[in-house]
Amino acid sequence: MIPKLFTCLRDYSKEQFLKDFAAGIIVAIIALPLSIALAIASGVSPEKGLITAIIGGFFVSLLGGSRVQIGGPTGAFVVIVYGIIQKYGLSGLTIATIIAGVFLILMGVFKLGSMIKFIPYPITTGFTSGIAVIIFSSQIKDFFGLNMNKVPADFIPKWTAYFENFHTINGEAIMLGGLSILMMSLWPKINKKIPSTLVAIIFVTFISILLKLDVATIGSGFGEISSSLAMPRFPHIDLNMIQELIMPGMTIALLGSIESLLSAVVADGMVGGNHRSNIELVGQGVANIFSSIFGGIPVTGAIARTAANIKNGARTPISGIVHSITLLLMMLILMPYVKFIPMTALAAILMMVAYHMGEWHAFRELSKSPKSDAAILLTTFFLTVLVDLVVAIEVGMVLAAFLFMKRMADVTDFKYLLEDDQIKDDIPSYENVSNNIAFYEINGPFFFGAADKFIQVIKEVETSPKVLILKMKNVPVIDATGYAALKQLYDMNQQSGTELILMEIQELPLRILENYGFLEMIGKDHVCEDLDTAIERANRFVADEGVETVQPLPAI
């Protein structure tokens, strides 16, 4: 729970400072157009994106658990922020972001950072690609210069409106937008140091001004843009607002935690480090609270900017702090000129962001993946695009849980060990086994997903043996439903006069059964550590009864 900055400063050198300083400036140049574009796509004014990168990015680096994480607005939040703005306005977004910050801090304090790894890859791939499609769709109006009053929020009505207004297409806007995409694609082959997004925006803006092209600009859409940081302002919060915004806040927190920790994991692979997931969540929480108080939008770790930070030599959070300070200076100096940027150029940037954001290779490999994973990915993807991100994650998680339980239930099997001659040869004491003894084995987790199969097996028994030995060597865990199935087996045995012996049970299931009082119920002498002891004890039970031979249980 110690921020990485404090650890990195212990052996900090002048040489590393110079690398971090240079990387921070380069990342700030990359973040400038992206922050503006993401703010506009989210439904807020351009400066709010910069405020998010400045304030949020500063606290992510100051208090986070990664050496090189760069915080700021990201494409993943565009859909959520836009929806909140439409429904609750800016004040609602501020409250939702503060709620998200509180949740993130609590997640870190209660050490839930490691729990994020349990979210399946098909779910993250599905909703990330779905968000990419939504971002791409939201930029069609500006890229083509369509003359539309208001773009519908939902996917299908949005595209319906596009087709209805496609006759208003602006050729000059398409030319500038296409030129922007071309420059962003080709410039990295010429120079990788200077960000292609910045080059494209500057070049296209100059062309627009020199040729006096009739295209929408940031200025025509937002008027004069503030070039100073607003004073911190804490919004009025009442119980009703909290009740309405707690779900959007939790969504921001969940998505922010996933994206920031995924970014930190990617960064670890690039620098050979180990991030501290719990303090990273705390840092992200504080960053979101301060970002919203200063008028920003939700902040999280930005994978692309973090990768650029690393590639330019950064190895400590100092680079992230330099990035925030540089952005602040750029905002103070350059904001008066931002109003000349054509909206089609920003749309082109976001289209490129959407293209690189989507995990399109996963869709190409669907035929190779298990059907269950493909179903989860496609379900999450289509629900994200057509319904809602929250619904997509909820349904995806439930579907993943059910399919996982089915796979585990399929892995767990129950078999009669004395049917197969080869199995008989594996039992050294088989020759000493009475015909009144049945020998069953459970393999795999004995939980509620597999318990029903076990109950069906024991209900199919037509003749009852005198002793039933249940081998549990390969049962790593047992839950309440598994215990209930064992209890049902014991009750059936009591009615038929059959003794139940448990054999080679592992420590965890043994402790669980002991807590339930099951061992005391069946008698501790009915729990054996090895096969020979179990068979010897079973034969003794049969001899004590002195009954005639009873046929063993039939094969399963």
* DSSP states along 175-205: HHHHHHHHHHHHHHHH-SSS-HHHHHHHHHH
| Annotation: CATH topology of 413-545 | Transcription Regulator spoIIAA (3.30.750)
Q: Which residues contact 376 (CB under 8 A, 6 or more apart)?
A: 120, 122, 123, 126, 396, 399, 400, 403
Q: What is the chain's pLDDT, residue by residue, as a tens digit (556 residues)? A: 899 999 998 888 999 999 999 999 999 998 999 999 999 989 999 999 999 999 999 999 999 999 999 999 998 888 899 989 988 999 999 999 999 999 999 999 999 887 776 788 898 889 889 988 998 998 999 999 999 888 887 899 999 999 999 999 999 999 999 999 999 999 989 987 788 888 999 999 999 999 999 999 998 888 777 777 778 888 888 888 889 999 999 999 988 998 898 889 888 888 888 899 999 999 999 999 999 999 999 999 988 899 889 988 899 999 999 999 999 999 999 888 888 999 999 999 989 988 988 889 888 888 888 888 999 999 999 999 998 887 888 899 999 988 888 887 788 888 776 554 444 555 555 455 556 778 888 888 888 777 777 777 767 666 678 888 888 999 998 988 889 988 988 888 888 888 899 999 999 999 999 999 999 999 888 999 888 888 888 888 887 765 443 344 443 3
Distance CA 37, CA 150 (A): 18
Distance CA 330, CA 27 (A): 12
Q: Where along the chain do its domains lie?
A: 16-116+146-359, 413-545
DSSP state of 236: P
For 433-442, what is each residue's pLDDT tens digit? Answer: 556 778 888 8
Smallest CA-to-CA distance from 370 within 381, 358, 382, 378 is with 378
Q: Are 418 and 424 in contact (CB under 8 A)?
A: yes
Smallest CA-to-CA distance from 57 within 284, 329, 393 is with 284
Structure token pair of residue 555? 């094969």
Q: Is 541 helix (H, G, I), strand (E, B) or coil?
A: helix
Structure token pair of residue 427? 């039992």
CA distances, 246 to each of 77, 79, 214, 235, 238 (Å): 16, 17, 44, 15, 12
Smallest CA-to-CA distance from 466 within 423, 502, 434, 432 is with 434
* 424: Cα within 13 Å, side-chain hemisphere: 9
CA distances, 163 to each of 85, 151, 493 (Å): 25, 12, 71
Q: Are 257 and 284 in contact (CB under 8 A)?
A: yes
